[in-house]
Amino acid sequence: MQGRKQQRHRFGGSGGTISVSKNLLDLIQNRRAQVAVVGCGYVGLPLALTLWRTGFRVFAVDIDKEKIAALRACRPYVWGVEESELKQALNSGDFVPTQYTDEAAKSDVVLLCLPTPLDENNIPDLSALRQTAEWLSQHLRKGQLIVLESTTYPGTTEEVLRPILERSGLTADRDFYLAYAPHRYDPGSKERRIGDIPRVVGGVGDASLEVACAFYETFTPKVVRVSNTQTAEAVKMLENIFRAVNIALVNELKEVFMKLGVDTYEAIEAAATKPFGFMKFTPGPGFGGHCVPVDPFYLAWRAKQVGMECDFVELAGRINRQLASKIVWRILTECARRGINPSQTPFVIIGVAYKPNIADTRESPAFPIMRLLRSVGVSVCYHDPLVPKLPKLRLYPEFEGMASVELDRLSEKALVIVSDHDVVDYRSLLRAQVVFDTRFAMRKRGISGATIVEV
């Protein structure tokens, strides 16, 4: 495949004709391109399987030996990835789990789905991207397409990824193609799979844009072209910060409404009947996941680099981080009102994933709540059928290895609903001393009772 003679194809573009490898386009359009998905987490693994279903030969690449061993043994570790499909993919010979290898790095198309967290000072941590780019630069060859999918600030592809790749001696948009296409994946959703969602694509030049769009058109219903990678990166920031700001807004309004004696849930449900000018967001214990809690601070950091402030955006991030302490204060206040001694009552957190019906615990609001309860002498454990054991947690190492408990002897316990998975029997929770509901989970299911307290 790599030894084939590179032909060039001319496309008309805003800047005249652009040179694109016809060989790579043919490989992509005929599903004969070899694709490497680097980073097999909650985004990368479903994407790799989607590409395999599309007909590509796929390397599922990860630096984590345990993940690769699990995939090779047909043990899916991502919620929504079925063992039967993984087995079929492995048996086909066209789905190859591997660590960082020369063969994977030389794939025709390389997609980067890497973690981009914040460090302890709220500064973007792009170490995984830099390390992977160094690896790729050692193997980069002419005619490859490299696409970054990770959530990041505008300028990352051009200012961080491109210079490292060009240390190979090759030039982006001339010798190889470089683009940014922000991932759009809704974990836990059966209605919106990766192959059903339109994708935004921006290239470092016209040639890169053409090749990247040709690739995404093979497995997505619509490709939205934007003028460059910075714009595509800004799209991802906009999508996630829109959610962060609106969630922070309804959580702040909830505080005000509670003081005014207004039923927040009823007000939101009534407002949602307006068919224009309103989008429903529901208050809760805080947003989680690998994007929404991080992006306000990502953009704020980037804005400061160019002498700007993002006061409103940063405020949304701060409101989210304050929610745990407000919830715990309301829990302790209600315990005092009911004559419950928290230090003598076992507390069980219901759901530790960051959203319902998935197993992803990254940035989950459950953990600051657990830590705060422990800090005042409360015994805390958790029940989550989707998370039988807690993994290593970036900010909460004390909970690593904790196992989910069974819901028995509920009359002796206090419960705190943080993530309302559908698999939980919520009516049975009424047997507990008290149920603190941070998600309106009971009301949404038509369950009421004197033991339920919406916090």
Sequence length of the chain is 455
Sheet holding 380-383, edge to edge: 380-383, 347-350, 414-417, 434-437, 452-454
Given the residues 40, 113, 213, 291, the one annotated as active site: 291
Distance CA 39, CA 59 (A): 10
Alpha helices, H only, 73-175: 83-92, 102-105, 127-137, 156, 162-165
User: Is 291 considered catalytic here?
Assistant: yes
357 is written with which tokens? 């019906």
* 160 in Cβ contact with 150 (< 8 Å): no
- Pure H helices in 94-190: 102-105, 127-137, 156, 162-165
For residues 325 and 365, is the Cβ–Cβ distance under 8 A? Answer: no
Tokens of 193: 């799979």
Q: Alpha-carbon distance 385 to 39, whole Å?
A: 26
User: What is d(CA 404, CA 391) in angstroms, rounded to the nearest whole number?
Assistant: 12
Whether residue 199 contacts residue 220, with contact meaning beta carbons closer than 8 Å, is answered with yes
Give CA–CA dist 376/292, Å, rounded. Answer: 29
Residues identified as active-site: 291
